[in-house]
Amino acid sequence: MYTVFTVKYEEDGVYLEINEECLANLDRDGLMQHLSRKKIHNLSNDSVDSIIGSGGLVKIAPPQIEQTYGEDLSVEVAQDESEAFIELLAPEHDGPYLEQEYVKKKLAEAGVVHGIDEETLNMVINARNYNVPYTVALATPQVDGEDGRLVFHFSTDERTGSPVEISGGRVDLRTLDLFVSCTEGQLLISRTPAVEGKPGITVRGNAIKQRPGKDALLPKGKNISYNDDKTEMYASCSGMVEYVNNSINVSNVYKINGDCDTRIGNIDFDGSVIITGSVRSGYTIKATDGINVGGCVESAKLIAGGNVEVKGGMQGSGRGMIEAGGSVTIMYVEQGAIVADGSVKVDVSIHSRIETGGSLHATGRRGAIIGGHAAVAGDVFANYLGAVSNTRTEVVVGAMPRKRARLAVIEKELERLETERIKLDQLDTYLAKTKGTMNNETWTRLYNSSKENRRQNTEDTVAFTEESSLLKYEMEHATNSKVHVFETTFTGSQIVIGSNALKINDEISYSTFMYNNGEVIYGPCEMNKADIK
């Protein structure tokens, strides 16, 4: 450093000389630090600047006595106050060394009061490695909280629709496993409290806010009650309980003795509906939960959020329809339509349309699918497919059409969210540039709005991405579904798996149809009828 520049203390002033031949090696910061540590009074920075680029000799201060500086310490704190660094500065010849107390004083002057590593501090002082930065203090990180959670005290599994077992290993063929029963006062859900977490501390002693745990809110519902601190949910009446769309419904049953006809009219009920008779043509039965019909359904509409059971069948006349958020069990359906998110069980389907998100079971006494169209997400089990009259019968297995439509909606939403993220990034860049120049109140409002919109965008993106992945998985594995026919597949039938179809030109007995290497093939039936529930 002293061969590149020299500071001379003369009678008429203090001079700075810079060797012109060593300008390339001049460390401007080092020069300025040296002049600062020399504590030169009335230093003329303009004079110093005048020769930094060219070299030479210039007067930089009035006459004064030269001061010799000793060791010194540079303290730097990270912008987020997560770390503090020190750098030991070398003394001049015969300059004094630092004491540990002075080092601590310098740290305190810089505001560093927390997380100081005494061992590192001693090492720096004893080793005397100059101009080397050391991390001497670290912040204590925050401990984020834990979210509360819900504990269900009843089964939320999908109902099997199978007959309920009674004593002695017998089953009640008239009562199917379609819902979860509950009694008044029964505990349904309890929740564990959220954990607040613990704030951290920066090296300057400021608090680092932790992410507090979020309380798990008990879902809303019908015919439920809470304890005083809302940590437990109870059924306020006896009936059945269903968990649908993040809602708990304990429903009384709207029971109709006899037929649904002009005496009753249309029904729109928040709960379950039981009709001991039949549903006549032209009427609509809506229920947020299940529907149970003891007789038949004519050209009417049954729309249920849960399962549907029809003890008889449907004479749809081209207008009858059943829509269910759960499974459908029916004796027969003729010229009708069934759309169900769950499985469908039918003895005979004649010239009807069936869409199911589960499996299609036609394995009753007759067990036949004759004519019409069936779109099934899972497997198909039937005794007969088609008829001896060569009736055109089409069975498509794989994803439901409604799921394909839902996937298209989700993909559009993800595109919208991506566009929104780009705009949020642009807003964040703008806010970063205008911080300190924009009106503080306006800046804060825009910042908080951007932060909340990004949080919502992230939550929506995660939810839609997960749902999209699930639906795409179902689409990709659509070819895993099979059609099992225990008796005869008749001429005129067509089986579609994925984008491939097999038209039946000759009767085939006891077969399983499956996808293999880009085509639909068949072989001996892989299932036993007795094993199908």
Lowest mean pLDDT among 16-20, 371-375, 464-468, 488-492: 16-20
Cα separation, 448 vs 247, in Å, equals: 31
Return the pLDDT at 218: 86
Return the pLDDT at 2: 46
Residue 190 reports pLDDT greater than 80: yes
State the DSSP code for 157. S
Q: Please report the DSSP string for 334-385 in residue order.
A: EEEEEEESS-EEEEEEEEEEEEESS-EEE-SSS-EEEEEEEEESS-EEEEEE
Q: Kindly indicate the confidence band of residue 25, based on its pLDDT and cuts at 50, 70 and 90.
A: confident
Helices and strands, number each (H, E), in the chain: 6, 36
Return the pLDDT at 70: 84
Return the pLDDT at 4: 85
SS3 of residue 200 by DSSP: strand
Neighbouring residues of 223: CB distance < 8 A, sequence distance ≥ 6: 235, 236, 237, 239, 249, 250, 251, 252
Return the pLDDT at 1: 43
Strand partners for 177: none
Average pLDDT over residues 97-125: 88
On average, the pLDDT of the chain sits at 87
Return the pLDDT at 178: 45
Between 478 and 78, whose confidence is greater? 78
Return the pLDDT at 479: 77
Average pLDDT over residues 22-42: 85
Is-contact 338 326, C-beta < 8 A? no
Residue with tokens 């089409």: 394
Residue 67 reports pLDDT greater than 80: yes
Return the pLDDT at 420: 93
Residue 128 reports pLDDT greater than 90: no
Strand partners for 339: 323, 355
Lowest mean pLDDT among 106-110, 323-327, 358-362, 496-500: 496-500
Highest mean pLDDT among 43-52, 234-243, 485-494: 485-494
Return the pLDDT at 297: 96
Q: Kindly indicate the confidence band of residue 527, based on its pLDDT and cuts at 50, 70 and 90.
A: confident
Residue 514: phi and psi, rounded to 5, are: -150, 170
Quick: pLDDT tens for 130-163: 889 999 999 999 999 999 999 999 888 776 545 5
Between 43 and 499, whose confidence is greater? 43
Is-contact 454 431, C-beta < 8 A? no
Q: Kindly indicate the confidence band of residue 399, based on its pLDDT and cuts at 50, 70 and 90.
A: low
Return the pLDDT at 262: 80
Q: Kindly indicate the confidence band of residue 418, based on its pLDDT and cuts at 50, 70 and 90.
A: very high
Residue 174 reports pLDDT greater than 80: no
Return the pLDDT at 339: 94
Is-contact 35 43, C-beta < 8 A? yes
Return the pLDDT at 401: 66
Highest mean pLDDT among 192-196, 212-216, 319-323: 319-323
Residue 172 reports pLDDT greater than 50: no
Q: Tell me which amino acid residue 413 is.
A: E
Return the pLDDT at 164: 54
Average pLDDT over residues 297-326: 95
Q: Kindly indicate the confidence band of residue 302, based on its pLDDT and cuts at 50, 70 and 90.
A: very high
Return the pLDDT at 165: 64
Quick: pLDDT tens for 476-515: 666 788 999 999 999 999 998 876 889 999 999 999 999 8
Return the pLDDT at 533: 62
Q: What is the 3 state secondary structure string of 40-68?
A: CCCCCHHHHHHHHCCCEEEEEECCCCCCC
Return the pLDDT at 353: 95
| % of residues, the chain, pLDDT over 70 | 93
Residue 176 reports pLDDT greater than 50: no
| % of residues, the chain, pLDDT over 90 | 47
Average pLDDT over residues 396-425: 85
Quick: pLDDT tens for 217-232: 888 888 889 998 888 9
